[in-house]
Each structure stands twice: as structure tokens, then as C-alpha cells.
């Protein structure tokens, strides 16, 4: 949450500097208003948008605290021994520093939320005060405007459709000028701008640029309103500027209101007398787009490269390969029954916890300083330290087994760095395991393939079992198979449900979506395909079914959903119809609304088209009221899609284009668009 807030603050600050340097002096007040509003929204939305990993400057996140549990027996043969003496460090000070930093960060989090609560409460109080003032004072209704009469030297202001003013303070001409000014604020809905700015301040109260942003937004609204006032024929520039000076008062209204009298009178008068910006200066606004793209590339999380079902296995692999553990550092341990959990801590706060069996450890030092080792084929881990009760601490150093490198290299697995040995040590990869993989047909191995297989304990028995169902399965599929819990029984159940030639990729996709044989059977009962959607030769039936089943599952299309349409007479909806109707939210209620309006037995294709264009029975009535009695549903869809609205037709008839067919208006609209 805190990184998100800081990222938002950074975007808002950069946008303010951009606005201040390039846009503030331009007289495109409407455009500036939209820029200010858009940037406020983008500051909060942009950090949530994933971007393609090819465009991201960020590295993939690294898991720092993986836990790998190993229970294999020790094979100390061929390991080397390191006899150098390692000094026991003092951990109390370091631990205290970590605690102090965490405590400080926690205090900052509490302080931030305290500020949010305070400013949120202030926002609500201002809103309540304005609503009470609007409903407790004398009111004059002027069309949609409510003129609320107040007392005292309060500056005129507006909120929503309320204008707060003391009529006794001003001459009749100035009074009407103030009302015209505030009515522009109301008609252009400037209150929305200020409300958004106040909400931004609630969550960005610590950001000085957010406060300046609100001020810039408010200033631009006044510039915009002044510009609109001066466009009126009955308003003279000099008299209007004079009235601003004459009405000046020191009282400040609530920050949720737009104000006729502001403390920025000098800026407003200067801007009124400024030369209008040339349209050729609009190029400045386009620089905002690459600025936002740059922020996204620098800070946004890259999108997942693939949403296929190998992600679970890849995640486990990343935990092993990218744990960042160093070959020497500090250790902390806890004895739990017949095992010991050891946490390895490097110099860069990288932690890795691993469980070892007690029978793997030689000469565990209890209540005194000592040394002990854990030996595996990949190397030997040397520990210095002591245990007090069930807890111990000290330093460690890993010594790789060079003979192990030679043996692995003969099998095609190259271990070039000590860190590679360390990973193989932690998950206890034995030479016999690699030989077993090669014996089962996996000839071209590398360390990145072996690591996840060993970490997931993909055994020979498991491989043999899977190969009985899928003889040509490759290593890349074995990892997600194991991580998803796919076994021979699951594969056979899927095939017995009708998927005779199901591939490994299909099985992974089905399992990851939680689709089993029962769901497939229910799906085929539920989604009966119409004749027009069936594949004549059946060659792509499995592939089509596979896609539809996964889509059904992800959209939660169940029997109840299908039955709700059967009650309305839709008994033979195809899979594609059901998917489209669910995606577009075509509900039984939507169909009933057309049936009640006299449109019976609308085909599913037409229902989908109507919903996609948001056509309602009310819209149909509007078209009929224009004289199109024999209106076809497809014509309405075409009209809505091209923007041929009832109001457009009325405007064309007012210009003399009086046609009996709606198709003529659609063609007219197409010409107008071109």
C-alpha cells in the first residue's frame, strides 16, 4: 500500500511540474481543466496497470525467503572439507537495528493513516456544514439554481447548485454579475473538480505538490469562468475587473466551494488581459503522453508473460534459483523433533530457510562454541556456533564438491558457479537423480530443468506413471503436472469423459482451472451445440470443446444460468451464445423487458447484438415515436452502432431531411462522420 501511495505522489508531483512549466500560462482553460482532472485520476490508476514485460525497466520480483524441505539420507562420499576458523559474530546489535527500522516504518504507516482519517473527517465536516447552510437559510429558487441568502462578510461562493451570497452587501448590478459568475461554475459542474481534488488531498495530505495541485485547479477554474463571463455581450472587461476589486473581502469560504472572490485577483486580472494562446502551442500537451508511458515503464509491474498453467511450477522454480542465498553468512536454527530448521542470512538481508534431518548433522555443539557439518553430494556446509536448548546461531560457509561438478558435466549438466552448487546442495540433487532422468528419455538436460524437478520431488515412479498415459511428455510439462497434482488417474478420467487424444497442455489447462471429468460431463449436458455451430468433420471438436469448457468455468456459466433462459423458451442455445450472453450480461430480466414491450421470440444473435449496443425497449419506443412503426431490431442495432440517435434524426428533420426509412438516416450519419 505504501509503495503505491508514494508512486502516486511521484506521478502527481511530476504532472504538477509539467503543468507549471508548460501549460499554466496557456489560455486553453477548458483543455487545462481536463488535463488537471485526467492527471489526478491517472496518478491513482496508472500504478495499477500492468505493462508488457518487454517495455518494463523493472526486473522480475525475487523471492527472498523460500523454504525447501529435504529429508534425503546423507551421502558424504567425495566431499571436501574446509578447516578455516570462522569467528562467531555478535547479532544483538544487527537484530536491534532491524527491529528499529521496522518499528519506524510501522510508525510511519500509522502516521499516514492517522492523517487520512483526520483529513477525511475534515472533508465530511465541510460537506455537512455546506448542506446544513444550504437547507437552513432563506432560499430563492432561480430555475435550477438555489440562491441561499447568508449574513455577514462571507465571500460569495457556490456548491453544487447552491449560490451563497449576502444580497445586502452589493449593488444590484454587481449582485447580478456575481450570480452570473457563480452560475457558470454550477453549469460547468466545477464542484466535481474540487471534490476530486479534496479526495486526492485526503490520501496525499503529506505531498506538498498535491496541495499546489488543488490550488492550480481552483485557479484555472476561475480563469475559465472569467473567460466565459467576458464572452457575454453585456459584460465589459473593465467593469468586470473593477467589480472583482470592489467585492474583495478577506473571509475565506470552505475549500469545497467555488468562489467569486478569491485571493488570486491579480492573477485573474492579468490573465484576462493576456493575449490568447496560439493553437500552434498545443504541441506542449502531447508531451504528457510519453511522460506517463515513461512512468509506467519505470515503475509499473510487468504483466505476466503467460497465463497458462505452468505458472505454479515456474514460481516454485524461481524460489529455488533466485533465492539470492550466498555461500557464506550467518545462520539461525530451531530444532523441531527429528529435524532442524536452519535460516541462512547473507550480507544483503537475503534469507533462506531449509529443513534438515538431525541424522545429517555431525557433532551438534550444545551449550558451547563448536563446529558441525552437513555433507551432501554437491558439497559440504560448515557451521560454527552453538546451541542453547533448541535454538542456535553462528556463521556458515559452503564448500562445493569439485568432483560432483565433473560427474554432472559428464551427464550434460554444467555447474559453473559456487551458487549453482549451493542450490543443488539445498535441494539435495544427487547424481543418480540426473541419471534416472536420462534413463527415462530426457537426454538434453540443463541445471535450470533439473532444479524444479528435484525441488518438486518428481520421482521415477511418478514419471513412469505419467508416461503410461502420455508417453511423449517433456520436462517442461512435468513441472506443472507435479505442482498441480496431476496423476495418471486424473488423466484417465479426463479421457474417459470424451477427450481421447487430450494433450499434456490441455490437461494442464483443465487442471489449473479446476475442471475435472464431472465438470466436463456436466458441460456437455449443459451446452448443447446447435447444428450451425457443429464442426462437420469433427477434427477440431476437442480443441473447440477445450476452449469452451475453460471459458464456461472462468465465466461461471452453470446449469442454473442455462435453465434461466430455458424458462423463457431458449432451449437450444449454443456454447458461443451462452458465452456471449454471459460476457455481455444478457439476463432473463433484459429479455423480459423486450417481451413486455411486445418483442417476442427474439433470436439469441439479436439479443447479443442489442445488448452489445445497449439497446433498451425505451430506446425502441423513442424510434417508434418518430414514425418508424415497422422497425426491425437489426435496424435499431445499426442505428445505435453508427450514432444515429433519435436526437440526430430530429435534428436532420429540422433541416429538411424527412425520410420514412431509418436506413436513410443511418446513411446520412455515415456521410456526416466522413
3-state secondary structure of 45: helix
Does pLDDT of 590 surpass 90? yes
The listed range with the strongest mean pLDDT (55-69, 85-99, 222-236) is 222-236
Of 655, 659, 672, 670, give the one whose Cα is nearest residue 628: 659
pLDDT digits (tens, 9 = 90+) for 178-211: 899 999 999 999 999 999 999 999 999 999 999 9
Percent of the chain with pLDDT over 70: 82
Q: What is the pLDDT of residue 226?
A: 87
Does pLDDT of 260 surpass 70? no
Of 342, 393, 399, 402, give the one whose Cα is nearest residue 375: 399
Of 589, 53, 490, give the one whose Cα is nearest residue 307: 53
Confidence band of 417 (pLDDT split at 50, 70, 90):
confident
Question: If you average pLDDT over residues 369-380, what whole number do you get?
Answer: 92
Helix (H) or strand (E) segment spanning residue 398: strand 391-400
Of 377, 456, 464, give the one whose Cα is nearest residue 77: 377
Distance (Å, whole) CA 414 – CA 425:
15
Question: If you average pLDDT over residues 572-589, what whole number do you get?
Answer: 89
Question: If you average pLDDT over residues 659-670, what whole number do you get?
Answer: 87
Compute the C-alpha angle 491/492/493, nearest 5°.
Answer: 90
Q: What is the pLDDT of residue 530?
A: 42
Distance (Å, whole) CA 16 – CA 34:
14
The listed range with the strongest mean pLDDT (56-70, 250-264, 356-370) is 356-370
CB 456, CB 430: distance < 8 Å = no
Domain boundaries, the chain: 2-64+282-299, 112-276
Amino acid at each position: 500500500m505504501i509503495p503505491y501511495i508514494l508512486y502516486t505522489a511521484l506521478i502527481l508531483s511530476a504532472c504538477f511540474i509539467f503543468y507549471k512549466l508548460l501549460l499554466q500560462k496557456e489560455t486553453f482553460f477548458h483543455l487545462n481543466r481536463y488535463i488537471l482532472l485526467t492527471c489526478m485520476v491517472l496518478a491513482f490508476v496508472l500504478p495499477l496497470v500492468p505493462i508488457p514485460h518487454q517495455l518494463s525497466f523493472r526486473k522480475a520480483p525475487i523471492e527472498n525467503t523460500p523454504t525447501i524441505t529435504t529429508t534425503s539420507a546423507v551421502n558424504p562420499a567425495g566431499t571436501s572439507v574446509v578447516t578455516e576458523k570462522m569467528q562467531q559474530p555478535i547479532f544483538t546489535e544487527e537484530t536491534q537495528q532491524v527491529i528499529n527500522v521496522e518499528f519506524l516504518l510501522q510508525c510511519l504507516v500509522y502516521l499516514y493513516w492517522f492523517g487520512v482519517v483526520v483529513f477525511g473527517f475534515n472533508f465530511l465536516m465541510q460537506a455537512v456544514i455546506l448542506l446544513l447552510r444550504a437547507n437552513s437559510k432563506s432560499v430563492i429558487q432561480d430555475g435550477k439554481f438555489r440562491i441561499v441568502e447568508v449574513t455577514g462578510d462571507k465571500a460569495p461562493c457556490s456548491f453544487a447548485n447552491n449560490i451563497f451570497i449576502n444580497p445586502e452587501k452589493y449593488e444590484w448590478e454587481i449582485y447580478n454579475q456575481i450570480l452570473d459568475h457563480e452560475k457558470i461554475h454550477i453549469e460547468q459542474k466545477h464542484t466535481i473538480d474540487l471534490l476530486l481534488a479534496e479526495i486526492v488531498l485526503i490520501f496525499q495530505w503529506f505531498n506538498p505538490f498535491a496541495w499546489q495541485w488543488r490550488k492550480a485547479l481552483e485557479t484555472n477554474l476561475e480563469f475559465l469562468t472569467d473567460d466565459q463571463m467576458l464572452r457575454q455581450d453585456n459584460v465589459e472587461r473593465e467593469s468586470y475587473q473593477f467589480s472583482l476589486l470592489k467585492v474583495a473581502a478577506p473571509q475565506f469560504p470552505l475549500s469545497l466551494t467555488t468562489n467569486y472572490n478569491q485571493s488570486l485577483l491579480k492573477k485573474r486580472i492579468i490573465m484576462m488581459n493576456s493575449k490568447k494562446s496560439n493553437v500552434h502551442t498545443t504541441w506542449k500537451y502531447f508531451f504528457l503522453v510519453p511522460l506517463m508511458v515513461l512512468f509506467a515503464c519505470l515503475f509499473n509491474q510487468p504483466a505476466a508473460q503467460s497465463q497458462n498453467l505452468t505458472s505454479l511450477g515456474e514460481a516454485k522454480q524461481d524460489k529455488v534459483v533466485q533465492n539470492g542465498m550466498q555461500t557464506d553468512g550467518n545462520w539461525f536454527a530451531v530444532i523441531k523433533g527429528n529435524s532442524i530448521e536452519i535460516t541462512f542470512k547473507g550480507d544483503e538481508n537475503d534469507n533462506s530457510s531449509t529443513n534438515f534431518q538431525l541424522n545429517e548433522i555431525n557433532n551438534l555443539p550444545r551449550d558451547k562454541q563448536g563446529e558441525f557439518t552437513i555433507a551432501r553430494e554437491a558439497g559440504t556446509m560448515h557451521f560454527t556456533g552453538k546451541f542453547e536448548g533448541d535454538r542456535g546461531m553462528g556463521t556458515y560457509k559452503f564448500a562445493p564438491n569439485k568432483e560432483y561438478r565433473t560427474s554432472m558435466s559428464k551427464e550434460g549438466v554444467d555447474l559453473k558457479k559456487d551458487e549453482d552448487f549451493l542450490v543443488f546442495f539445498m535441494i539435495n540433487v544427487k547424481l543418480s537423480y540426473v541419471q534416472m532422468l536420462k534413463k527415462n528419455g530426457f537426454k538434453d538436460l540443463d541445471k535450470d530443468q533439473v532444479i524444479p524437478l528435484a525441488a518438486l520431488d518428481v520421482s521415477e515412479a511418478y514419471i513412469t506413471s505419467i508416461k503410461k498415459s502420455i508417453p511423449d511428455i517433456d520436462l517442461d510439462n512435468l513441472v506443472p503436472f507435479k505442482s498441480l497434482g496431476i496423476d495418471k488417474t486424473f488423466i484417465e478420467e479426463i479421457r474417459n469423459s470424451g477427450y481421447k487424444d487430450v494433450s499434456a497442455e490441455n490437461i494442464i489447462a483443465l487442471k489449473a482451472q479446476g475442471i475435472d471429468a464431472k465438470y466436463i460431463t456436466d458441460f456437455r449436458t449443459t451446452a448443447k451445440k446447435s447444428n450451425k455451430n457443429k464442426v462437420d468433420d469433427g477434427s477440431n471438436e476437442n480443441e473447440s470443446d477445450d476452449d469452451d469448457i475453460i471459458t464456461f468455468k472462468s465465466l461461471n456459466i452453470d446449469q442454473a444460468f442455462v435453465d434461466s433462459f430455458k424458462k423463457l423458451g431458449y432451449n437450444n442455445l449454443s456454447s458461443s451464445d451462452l458465452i456471449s450472453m454471459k460476457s455481455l450480461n444478457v439476463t432473463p430480466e433484459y429479455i423480459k423487458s423486450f417481451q413486455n414491450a411486445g418483442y417476442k421470440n427474439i433470436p439469441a444473435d439479436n439479443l447479443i447484438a442489442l445488448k452489445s449496443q445497449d439497446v433498451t425497449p425505451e430506446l425502441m419506443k423513442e424510434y417508434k415515436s418518430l414514425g418508424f412503426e415497422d422497425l426491425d431490431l437489426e435496424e435499431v442495432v445499426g442505428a445505435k452502432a453508427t450514432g444515429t440517435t433519435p436526437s440526430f434524426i430530429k435534428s436532420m428533420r429540422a433541416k429538411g431531411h424527412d425520410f420514412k426509412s431509418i436506413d436513410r438516416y443511418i446513411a446520412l450519419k455515415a456521410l456526416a462522420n466522413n
